[in-house]
């Protein structure tokens, strides 16, 4: 049941390459019973426990020097309930496998993020989201959860059963227990028409409310050092299916968005002075296109160029002002930023520590190419976001602590009280949780 960590001398590394850990041991349980036994054994040995998904978080939320739980054997669909329109999946199931399996059954999630490499439990525990006017994060689509708590017992929760746990555990940060299964609301498979087109930055900002109101899923990418953006509008469609032709898809989504972009970033990393000129070319590389396909083929795309990311949720009403401040800061700072800034939205939800908890939200994500210094850019961006009471994504780089979170999350104390009850000995504690939730 035990295995060694990936990397040299049992070192675990995340996808972004900015976090590493050396667990005392790794466990790959094949069942919920085995996982519960591993938690009980860790308690006897006085070791902390953390579960890790695909390592797509840029924070050290999954890092531990204790027992690292790998969920890759806890995968697959347990149950599809066509009457209730729900699907129950094992926690280690990658979103990619879930999306493909659901489509085969004529079903789909309502909304999803823009990549699908993560496990369902890793994605939901950190608050992974896409963009939506009326539909929220992946966690907002959860109808039920099963988790192993600190004493090794299995707890299930939903709106009716243990509702106070359900309110918090949908985005539980790994602090309340180890999620072993998730029940999602699903709907009959539908089609989305995607309209992607370049648009000037100033026009996107002046028309932002309209673009948001008129589209089910609106997002855009602004290229620093330019006045250019790429906008994306995804709306439900009666069909017919008109996918992107294979050759065009390879050219735009693989060659330009991944291959050429990777080379541009290598050049920019070696010679930062070239970045503004490269940004001008990059921002004009993709031309307008419209296509119609099933949801996961529209919402998600491959991301092969590795980066480090910070993302903040600000009140939707504040997003235009925050973006203007960000552009002014980049223009004046002398920073050279080769990655576009991504802007998305989400409606208010009722999950205790959701970045959209209790308020209509817009997300601003800043990225830096892996291996380039990101501290100065992220620090100055973070100053702008926090001035707007921003809430950082739990799985992306930030410097906030429990004291800050207690101010920007009205229900913060509700979460920490539940944690005191479910994990009094802090079996699931690590340095990150100590910082963001307090000791």
DSSP string, 248-303: HHIIIIIIIIIIIHHHHHHHHHH-GGGHHHHHHHHHHHSPPEEEEE-HHHHH----
- The whole-number pLDDT of residue 248 equals 84
Under 8 Å between Cβ of 64 and 48: yes
How many residues are recorded in the chain? 439
Residue 366, CA distances (Å) to 323, 330, 334, 375, 397 in order: 11, 11, 16, 12, 10
Mean pLDDT, the chain, whole residue set: 93
- The whole-number pLDDT of residue 8 equals 47
**Among 151-165, 181-195, 289-303, 311-325, where is mean pLDDT lowest?**
289-303
Predicted confidence (pLDDT) at residue 281 exceeds the cutoff of 90: no
Determine the average pLDDT of the residues in 225-234: 96
- The whole-number pLDDT of residue 269 equals 81
Written as six digits, the tokens of 330 are 């980049």
Determine the average pLDDT of the residues in 112-134: 96
Written as six digits, the tokens of 156 are 């299930």
- The whole-number pLDDT of residue 113 equals 94
For the beta carbon of residue 407, count every other beta carbon within 10 angstroms: 10
- The whole-number pLDDT of residue 4 equals 40
Predicted confidence (pLDDT) at residue 1 exceeds the cutoff of 50: no
Q: What digits encode the pLDDT tens for the residues 411-420?
A: 999 999 999 9
Predicted confidence (pLDDT) at residue 237 exceeds the cutoff of 50: yes
Predicted confidence (pLDDT) at residue 7 exceeds the cutoff of 90: no
- The whole-number pLDDT of residue 244 equals 85
- pLDDT-based confidence at residue 5 (cuts at 50, 70, 90): very low
Q: Rounded to whole angstroms, how far apart are CA atoms 22 and 4?
A: 10
Q: What is the CA radius of gyration of the chain?
A: 21
Q: Torsions phi, psi of 39, nearest 5?
A: -65, -45
Q: Which residues contact 173 (CB under 8 A, 6 or more apart)?
A: 61, 125, 126, 353, 394, 433, 436, 437
- pLDDT-based confidence at residue 9 (cuts at 50, 70, 90): low
**Among 17-21, 171-175, 219-223, 319-323, where is mean pLDDT lowest?**
17-21
Determine the average pLDDT of the residues in 29-52: 97
Q: Rounded to whole angstroms, how far apart are CA atoms 29 and 2?
A: 8
HSE of 180, CA atoms in CB hemisphere, 13 A: 21
Determine the average pLDDT of the residues in 236-261: 83
């Amino acid at each position: 049941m035990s295995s060694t960590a990936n990397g040299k001398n049992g070192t675990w590394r995340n996808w972004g390459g900015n976090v590493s850990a050396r667990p005392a041991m790794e466990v790959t349980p094949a069942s919920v019973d085995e996982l519960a036994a591993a938690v009980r054994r860790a308690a006897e040995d006085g070791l902390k426990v953390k579960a890790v998904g695909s390592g797509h978080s840029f924070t050290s939320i999954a890092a531990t020097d204790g027992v690292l739980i790998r969920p890759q054997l806890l995968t697959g669909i347990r149950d599809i309930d066509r009457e209730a329109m729900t699907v129950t999946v094992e926690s280690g199931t990658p979103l990619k496998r879930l999306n493909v399996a659901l489509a085969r059954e004529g079903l789909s999630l309502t909304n999803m993020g823009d990549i699908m490499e993560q496990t369902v439990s890793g994605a939901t525990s950190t608050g992974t989201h896409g963009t939506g006017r009326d539909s929220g994060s992946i966690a907002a689509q959860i109808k039920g959860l099963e988790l192993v708590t600190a004493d090794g017992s299995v707890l299930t929760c939903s709106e009716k059963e243990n509702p106070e746990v359900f309110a918090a555990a949908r985005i539980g940060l790994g602090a309340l227990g180890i999620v072993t299964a998730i029940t999602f609301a699903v709907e009959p498979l539908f089609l989305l028409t995607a309209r992607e087109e370049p648009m000037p930055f100033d026009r996107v900002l002046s028309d932002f409310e309209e673009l948001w109101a008129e589209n089910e899923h609106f997002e855009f990418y602004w290229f620093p050092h330019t006045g250019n953006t790429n906008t994306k509008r995804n709306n439900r469609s009666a069909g017919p299916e008109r996918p992107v032709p294979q050759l065009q898809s390879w050219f735009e989504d693989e060659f330009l968005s991944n291959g050429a972009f990777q080379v541009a970033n290598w050049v920019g990393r070696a010679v930062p002075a070239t970045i503004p000129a490269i940004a001008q070319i990059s921002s004009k590389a993709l031309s307008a296109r419209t296509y119609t396909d099933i949801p996961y083929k529209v919402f998600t795309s491959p991301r092969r160029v590795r980066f480090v990311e910070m993302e903040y949720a600000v009140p939707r009403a504040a997003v235009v002002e925050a973006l203007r401040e960000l552009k002014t800061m980049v223009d004046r700072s002398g920073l050279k930023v080769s990655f576009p800034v991504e802007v998305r939205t989400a409606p208010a939800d009722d999950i205790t520590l959701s970045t959209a908890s209790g308020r209509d939200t817009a997300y601003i994500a800043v990225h830096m190419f892996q291996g380039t210094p990101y501290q100065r850019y992220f620090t100055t961006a973070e100053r702008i976001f926090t001035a707007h009471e921003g809430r950082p994504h739990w799985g992306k780089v930030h410097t906030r602590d429990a004291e800050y979170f207690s101010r920007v999350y009205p229900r913060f104390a509700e979460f920490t009280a539940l944690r005191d009850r479910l994990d009094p000995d802090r079996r699931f504690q690590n340095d990150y949780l100590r910082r963001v939730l307090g000791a």
